[in-house]
Structure 1
Amino acid sequence: MTADEGGAIRSVLTEGVLRITLARPGKANALRREDMTALLDVLERAAATGDVRAVLIDAEGRNFCAGADLVTANAPGAGKPPLGSMIRSLAATAHRLIQTLWDFPAPTVAAVQGRAAALGLNIALATDFVVAADTASFAHPFAQRGFTADSGATYLLPRLIGVARAKRMLIRGTVVPAPQALEWGLIGDVVRAEELPGAAEALAVELAAGPTLVHALTKALVSDHLTSDLPRALAAEARTVELSLRGDDFKEGVRAFLGHRPPVFTGR
């Protein structure tokens, strides 16, 4: 596998470590549908080869990933999507991406700086190890945009930080700074911002040098022994996102986001 030059997703394989870089820094690395598809393509091709012994996901610019690109997805003139379109779209993009990362046979690492929000946060949490800069922050602003969580948020957060803290993030939109995220168990390591690239790469190199078959078997056991399963959680999220995106509160959430003002929700 060689380097993919250009575009919002770049990848290069070096000595068993596949580095995937989110490269849309001017938009806080927010992911469009085509970016998710490109990221999926890289991961699925990597999973099919024995050359990849570890994956490192990092990002250009000040932020890791602000989530899905709501501005592009809801551009004027896009029209009202048909019933069921969100369920189908999530299954093909964001949810498939989270499932692919969750099931990836080699160890995965996310190097997080700045904001990791919504889908961006879930991408990080679906990896095996999150290394964050001490200035990073983590948030799920779904409710503040007027729709329900997706991409594994309601599955991952309660298992990592407990129900009460998960509700703080998912319902109140609490922003969690990196030191607190470490204390909560949301992430595994916090380093100084200038040390982040080296620390994340060193971890990926360490994992790539290890018994990767053992790593894969251990990952499968841990996933199998959780009390619920991710596919059912993803399917339930897709159904509720479909409903919430059709409400007035979602339209108001997007208008407020674009207008840089607090939303005024009506509960409809």
Structure 2
Amino acid sequence: MPSLVKFSHDRNIASVRLNRPERHNALVPGLLDDLRNCLELARGVAPDALVLSAEGRSFSTGGDIGGFMEHTENPDELLAYSDRIVGALHEVIIDLLEFPAPILAAVNGPVTGGSLGLILAADLVAMSEIAFLQPYYGVVGFGPDGGWTALLPERVGTAKALELQYLNSRLSARDALRLGLANAVVPEGGIEDQIDAWTASIADMNANTLKATRANVWDRARIAAVRERLDQEKRRFLERVTAPDTLEGMKRFTGRP
């Protein structure tokens, strides 16, 4: 079975690429395990920067609801699966926040659900003009995870973070740029050029200064506070996932009987 995440290293830039394009890089435990392993490999080569990207036309559409649906007949199994996948996603987010070098995200397409956390943990975000961000929690019935309440309010303000989730708003790439969730919007197919430009600029800087800057921003106290809020997200996700209205929401969303 091919790896669900690819790792490469070139010219002191580490690259981690989601590789489940046939399912829009939707999150499953195997992908998150591979992602954590690749992040450990990336840390081991001590790069000047890390590039996070994805195969296909979507960056990642959050947790694969099909994976949850496989366990809906047994509440204990559904809880165990949910605990594993949400816990793994949150550990990935912490891994990214603790990463010692700048993180660049190449967002080639839609980002929905908990996959937003991968973007919120990055430092420079380039979005294709076809990309968008959207929660979908209120549509399905899940509790928000992946930093929608743990990280997003600090970035866009409490009122805007609540509005986006209450109304299931779709943020275009331009909207994301305006709110400070993206640093550049590029034409479809032009995202690699933007990433190359950023890595070239980083190569001209003192790498240790950039690493010190990131370490100052994401110090132990700040990461501990994020972890506490992510743990709260997971607790409420687990409270919601076996509720009858959530089970109905999953069926309705996937079109399954």
Normalised by the size of structure 2, how large is the TM-score? Answer: 0.90
Task: Please say if residues 72 and 247 of structure 2, whose CA atoms lie closer than 8 Å, have aligned partners that are also in contact.
Answer: no
Residue in 2 aligned with 1:215? 210
Note if 1:251 corresponds to 2:247.
yes
Q: How does 1:28-67 map to 2 (within 5 A)?
A: 28-50=24-46, 52-67=47-62
Q: How does 1:174-253 map to 2 (within 5 A)?
A: 174-224=169-219, 229-253=225-249
Identity across aligned pairs (percent)?
Answer: 27
**Cα offsets for 1:98-147 (capped at 9, x unmatched):** 00011110111111122111122211121111100112111111221101
Task: Please say if residues 116 and 139 of structure 1, whose CA atoms lie closer than 8 Å, have aligned partners that are also in contact.
Answer: yes
Greater Cα shift, 223-232 or 32-41: 223-232
- Displacement of 1:63 after TM fit? 0.9
Query: Larger helix proportion, structure 1 or 2?
Result: 2
Task: Please say if residues 177 and 183 of structure 2, whose CA atoms lie closer than 8 Å, have aligned partners that are also in contact.
Answer: yes
- Displacement of 1:244 after TM fit? 0.8
Note if 1:170 corresponds to 2:180.
no
Q: 1:6 to 1:86 in 2, by over 3 A?
A: closer
The gaps in structure 1 that reach 5 residues or longer are: 261-268
- Look up the SS of the partner of 1:151 in the other structure: coil
Q: 1:65 to 1:199 in 2, by over 3 A?
A: same
Q: 1:76 to 1:100 in 2, by over 3 A?
A: closer
1:14 counterpart (10, 15, 19):
10
Task: Please say if residues 22 and 58 of structure 1, whose CA atoms lie closer than 8 Å, have aligned partners that are also in contact.
Answer: yes
The count of residues paired between Structure 1 and Structure 2 equals 256
RMSD: 2.5
- Displacement of 1:194 after TM fit? 2.5
**Cα offsets for 1:152-186 (capped at 9, x unmatched):** 22122111111111012222211100111111112
Residue identity matched to 1:207? I
- Look up the SS of the partner of 2:74 in the other structure: coil
- Look up the SS of the partner of 1:253 in the other structure: helix
Residue identity matched to 1:255? K
Residue in 1 aligned with 2:155? 160
Q: 1:80 to 1:22 in 2, by over 3 A?
A: same
